[in-house]
Structures are given as structure tokens and as C-alpha cells.
Structure 1
Amino acid sequence: MEYRKLKDQDQDGASAPEDVESLRGKPISAVGPVERTKWKRKSIVTLALTFLTSSQAILIVWSKRAGKYEYSVTTANFSVEALKCALSLAALARIWSNEGVTEDNRLSTTLDEVGVYPIPALLYLVKNLLQYYIFAYVDAPGYQILKNLNIISTGVLYRIILKRKLSEIQWAAFIILCAGCTTAQLNPKSDSVLQTPLQGWVMAIVMALLSGFAGVYTEAIIKKRPSRNINVQNFWLYVFGMAFNAVAIVIQDFDAVMNKGFFHGYSFITVLMILNHALSGIAVSMVMKYADNIVKVYSTSVAMLLTAVVSVFLFGFHLSLAFFLGSTVVSVAVYLHSIGKVQR
């Protein structure tokens, strides 16, 4: 389905994020209970996404044994989608029990509504598979830094596809953020400016483009019907995610799954990683529903800093002066972005 159709259907709900942003600078007494609830919900899901993302790369690296994945990456991705689908259904069951079944929370839908979900589901499949293989070339902190390449791709696609204008300060903040991330990756003990090999950069760029487009498109889908319950929207997205991952299992790991079993090579860390990925995915959809993709990329940028700090204790990662300088620049970029929102 063409995005133009999605955008036309979304016009009534396009102002929802702006309503939340308009709270900035107002006294608490001037803000109604509905607005306070929206602001609180947005803050909670953003913080949740930051902490879940910061531990995501660490768990992926931790799940390796002797530098290799003993479990099937495709079955792990399928398990993530299945768990997200189950959590969405559990949340819906609770809503149905408390509020009953309504037009906005029923699972029954139209072909036009469901037909848009396979596109982001397929893009997320490819992106999720790449994030496992990229660790052959980068460590956990480096992965978080390279992930921030999607800041630029998301900003550009956000402007082109969603037609949302960003202020000059916000664009400047994007550039500064990328500069800060690059500075944080500088290795003073190496002759090369960037220690990531070409293969890692190629994977990171492809992941950034896929993540940016999938994120912007998913936001358009979720917001085209603001009153629609987010758990229903998540359910259909994850159903297609399960379907595509099932195809990936058949193509890539069919023999291994048939001979060794679906859960061969799984460990306690693998289970934690799957749970983390599932909760992160739900948090992302919540951020897109109640905020936007720009908030998401800044949240993951802050997660990069947390990952590096935790990696000091877990993997012996050393925080260089360049990292502290880069982290300071990232913090400045986040601050400039918040100012840009006010002046937009």
C-alpha cells in the first residue's frame, strides 16, 4: 500500500505527539490529567527502551561460546516474535476482561489494515539477522556506536516520508550526535581512525537504512489510526514477523533444527537475550505510538553510553579520553535537540 494513503488516513491523529511536546514549559497546574498521563506514559516507555537497548548488545555478545553462536539465530528471532505476539495477546486479554471488546481493541480487521504489516516485518527480519553477524567485526560498545548511523537515515526518511519538519537546531544536533559517536569510537592505540573493518561498516550502513525505513514506515502504520489499541497493531506486526522468520528457518537452518532440535544450543543467557529483544521490540512500538522515531534514535544513542560503561565491568572495555569527549558531545546533541523541539 502506498504511503500516501497511510498519510491521508493519519491526518486526524498527526498532532498527537505535538500535544505531548506542547507540555514543555507549562506549569503543572496548567496541565490537565490527560496530558499528564500522556507525558508520563511517553517518559516511561522512552526510559524502558533506553535501558533495554543498553543491555541488548551485551546479551548478544554474552550468548556466544568460544566466539560462536551455538544456537540457531533464526530460531532465536522466531522465538522473539512469538514471545512479543504472546505478550500482546496477554495484554489484550487483560483489556478485554476489564473493558470488554470494542471496535478499537478487537483483533478482527480488514485486509487493507493488515496488508501494510508485511513490509516492516520483512525489513526488521533482515535487520535483526544482520545484528547477529555484525558482532564478528565489532564489540558491544562499537555495535551501539555504529547503530547510531540510523540517526541520519531516520532523520532524512522522517522528513521525506512523514513530511515532518525538523528545525535547523535539530538537524545540527543530528550531525553533532554522529560526530560524538565517531569520536567515542576513536582508538588512541591504533593507527587507524576507526577500528571497525569494512565488512562491519557495510553491515552497519545496511542496518541503518533498513532500521530507518522500517521505523518510519511502522510509525506511519501505527499512527494512521490513533484510537486503535497498540497491542492489536503489535499483534498483526508480530504475526507477520513470525511467518517471515519461519521461512528463514526453513531456508537457513532446516537441517540443524530437524537433527538437533529447535532449541539446540540455548542457554540461560540466550533466554534472557530473547526476553530482552521481545521487551525492546514492544518498547519501540510504544515509543512510536506515543512519541516518534526521533525520540527512539536519541534513546538508543543514550543506550550506547550505558552499554560502554557496563562493558567496562563485563568485558574489560577501557574508556578512553576520546570516549569521554565523544560522550560529552552526544550529551550536548541531546540537549540541543530538546531545545530544537521547543523552537520548532
Structure 2
Amino acid sequence: MNNSMVKYLSLCFLSVQTASHVLITRYSRTADTSHPYLPRTTVALVEVTKLLICIAIHFCNKGFRISVTFTSILDEVVRKPKECLKLSVPALLYVCQNCLLFVALSNLNSATYQVCYQLKILTTALFSVFMLSKRLSSTQWLALLLLTIGVVLVQVMKSEDDGSMSDSTLGSVYASMMAVLLASCLSGFNGVYFEKVLKSSKQSLWIRNIQLAGASILIAFTSLYLFDYEAIQTAGFFQGYTWATWAVICLSVISGLTVAIVVKYADNILKGFAVSISILISTFISFYFLDDFEPNFGFFLGAPMVIGATFLYGMNFEKAKPA
């Protein structure tokens, strides 16, 4: 299979995976509200699984030698607490980010959520400018402006449509919108911070991921103890779990691997296609199958602006890359 075929297969897989992750998470939070699962338990399980996968990949890179793998992890992770401490901040924010996304999808339909969450492109760009001293072209700044306007249109028009809701429901929707905006900020900061740590270190990507996953596990289980201890004692760790919950966990785990594949074989233009396709898939399924989305004028105007801005930003990024 040539690289071109792998490129487009990874594109299709990313599109379906992104849309599926959002849609199933939304379904899992709304299908049975009588006894919902605890989102922080799924976050913890995702981090444990990621750690095991990172260790397995590191084991493969070390030639399937247990002693060498164990020694390298001992030397690079256990005996270097300062290096692990550097990742405690993104680990904490990453756990918060995932919990915020569960809050958002509990009250926002998948289509609106996906459009608004594209603000992470803006926050990533801004943090790259301030933390990594990257320079953006005028076209990229224009794309970010269009992206912001598109998201604002979607949110403002949705707020007007939600005027007939009860105060409690309306408050939940507003809280979900704020959760998406805050998660976008955390996503941008985490991505840039992790990139900065990688560039300033000689440690391998998988060692850094092991450190990050380890810190995330500690923080995730600490949050469970602080906020969900009584609920877990009463109904158990896996309370409210269904096939959809396990699907959310699996899709969360493979999302990182999917991004790695796309980064290797695709480019930013194709990733823009993937975002666009996933938004269209989410819109179609939310409207026709989940019956929780009614497109308004703001969405018809704002969503194409967001998709177009994603293309414009990605195309300019590709042109700016050194040969």
C-alpha cells in the first residue's frame, strides 16, 4: 500500500473517528439520564489505557526486551521527578479539559459542539505566538478572524433560539458553551506546552507520553476521590456503564493514535477536510437520527465560515513549511 493510499485512508478514518467520538459521547450522556455514569471514571480509565499502550510501544522500540524497557523507564521516568513535574501542569489541565467536554456534550448537540470546539485552532495559534515565538502570516490571521466570527455567529444565534427554554435548562446550555470555550483554551495551551517540553528535551516522544499519562492518572484518581468517592462507594465505579460508555473510552484512547497517523501521512489541508467531513457527519446524524438539532440561520452562516477558515489556515500553514 503506497503512501497516497495510506494518506486518504487515514483521512477517512480520522473523519469517522472524530464524528463517532462526539456523537457517541453525546448519546452516552443523554440516552439514559436516570442513572448516568460518572465522567471522571472514564477519564481515569482512558489515561490508564494510554499508559499501557505507551509502555507497549516503548517496549517494541526497545526490541521487545523487558529488562531494557524496564531500565529505561526507571531511569527516564522514576529517577527524573523534575522532568515528570514539568508535565504535571498539562496533565492537570488535560484531565480538566476532558471533564469539560463531557459537560458540554451533556447539553449541546454534536453539530454545535464541533463547530464551537474548532476555537482550539485559534487558542493554539495564539499560544504558539506567545510561548514559542511563532510568526503567523496575514492570511492565517484572517483565517483566525473568520473562525472566531463563525463560532460567535453559531453561539449568538443559538442563544437567541434558546430563549424559550426554562431558566434551569438555559443555564445548563450556557454552562456547556462556556465549557467548550474553556476546553478550547486548555487544548491550545496543552498542545503548545507539550510541544515546548518536547523541543527542550532529548527524551523520546513515548517516554514523555508515559510521564504525561502517569501524571494524568494520579490527578484523575485524586479527582475521583475528592468529588466522586461517595457515589462510587454507593453504586460502584462502573455505575451507569453501557456499551456507549465503553465505546467512548475506546474512541478516546485511539484518538491520540489516529492523530499520530495523520500527522505522519497526511497534511494540514487533508486534516481540514477531515474536520469538515466530521462536522457534516455530526450535523446529519444529529438532525436525522438523534433528533436534537435544528439548524438555524446562524449555523448555516457560521459553520461554513469555520470550515473555510480551517482550510485557509491549513493551506497557508503548508505553504509556510520549509522545503
> Counterpart in 1 of 2:56?
90
Between Structure 1 and Structure 2, the one with more helix by share is 2
The one-letter code matched in structure 1 to 2:45 is S
The one-letter code matched in structure 2 to 1:60 is: T
Superposition deviation, residue 112 in structure 1: 3.6
Q: What does 1:124-203 align with in structure 2 at a 5 Å threshold?
A: 124-183=94-153, 186=157, 190=161, 197-203=173-179
Aligned partner of residue 263 in structure 1, secondary structure: coil
Say whether the 8 Å CA contact 2:268–2:314 is kept in structure 1.
Answer: no
- For residues 244 and 122 of structure 2, what CA distance do their matches in structure 1 show? 32
Where does residue 311 of structure 2 map in the other structure? 335
Tell me, what secondary structure is at the counterpart of 2:161?
coil
Label 1:343 to 1:191 Cα distance change in 2 as closer, same or farther (>3 A).
same
Cα distance change on mapping 1:287 and 1:241 into 2, 3 Å: farther
Flag structure 1 segments of 5+ consecutive residues without an equivalent. Answer: 1-35
The one-letter amino acid paired with 1:215 is G
Superimposed CA distance per residue, residues 103-140 of structure 1 (whole angstroms, 9 cap, x where no aligned partner):
9x932313343221111100011111111222343222
Of 60-69 and 91-100, more deviation after overlay is shown by 91-100
Give yes or no for contact 1:155–1:294 (8 Å, CA) kept in 2: no
Question: Who is 1:76 aligned against?
Answer: 42
Equivalent of residue 220 in structure 1, options 185, 196, 212: 196
Task: Tell me: CA distance 1:319–1:44, structure 2 relative to 1, closer, same or farther (3 Å).
Answer: same
Q: Is the 8 A contact 1:168 1:340 kept in 2?
A: no
Q: Cα distance, 1:50 vs. partner? A: 4.3
Q: Secondary structure at the match of 2:62?
A: helix
Give 1:56's aligned residue: 21
Distance, in Å, in 2 between the alignment partners of 1:223 and 1:46 is 27
Over 3 Å counting, the alpha-carbon distance change for 1:42 and 1:68 in structure 2 is: farther
Measure the CA separation in 2 of the matches of 1:132 and 1:210: 14
Q: What is the rounded CA distance, in whole Å, between the counterparts of 1:274 and 1:211 in structure 2? A: 19
1:317-332 equivalent positions in 2, closer than 5 A: 317-319=293-295, 323-332=299-308
Q: Secondary structure at the match of 2:232?
A: helix
Q: Distance in 2 between matches of 1:57 and 1:181?
A: 18
Aligned AA for 2:208?
A: Q
Paired position in structure 2 for 1:211: 187
For the residues of structure 1 that align with 2:198 and 2:253, how far apart are their CA atoms? 18
Aligned counterparts of 2:152 and 2:255: Cα–Cα separation in 1 = 25
Give ranges in structure 2 of 5+ residues lacking alignment: 164-169
> Given the superposition, is the C-alpha separation of residues 302 and 157 from structure 1 closer, same or farther in structure 2, using an over 3 Å criterion?
farther
Q: Percent identity?
A: 25
Question: Take 1:125 and 1:343, find their aligned partners in 2: how far apart are those partners?
Answer: 33
TM-aligned CA deviation for residue 337 of structure 1? 2.0
Q: For structure 1, which segment, 171-180 or 92-101, has the greater mean C-alpha deviation from structure 2 after superposition?
A: 92-101
SS in 1 for 2:241: coil
**Structure 1 length normalisation: TM-score?**
0.73
How far apart are residue 78 of structure 1 and its match?
0.5
Residue in structure 2 matched with residue 275 of structure 1 by the alignment: 250
CA contact (8 A) 1:123 1:214 kept: yes
Residues 181 and 255 of structure 1, relative CA distance in 2, 3 Å threshold: same
Matching residue within 202, 205, 209 for 1:230? 205
Deviation at 1:284, TM superposition (A): 4.8
The residue aligned with 2:166 is none
Q: 1:179 to 1:44 in 2, by over 3 A?
A: farther
- Contact 1:140 1:311 (C-alpha < 8 Å) held by counterparts: yes
Q: Report the residue type matching 1:265 in the other structure.
A: G
Q: Which amino acid aligns with 2:197?
A: I
Deviations 1:173-222 (A, max 9, x none): 11212333444564599386xx9943233323322222221121112223
Aligned pairs for 1:111-130 (under 5 A) are: 111-130=81-100
Retained in 1: the 8 A contact 2:118–2:306? no
Deviates more, 1:297-306 or 1:72-81: 297-306
**Aligned in 2, Cα 1:151/1:132: closer, same or farther, shift over 3 Å?**
same
Partner Cα separation in structure 2 for residue 233 and residue 44 of structure 1:
28
Are the aligned partners of 1:148 and 1:178 in contact in 2 as well (CA < 8 Å)?
Answer: no
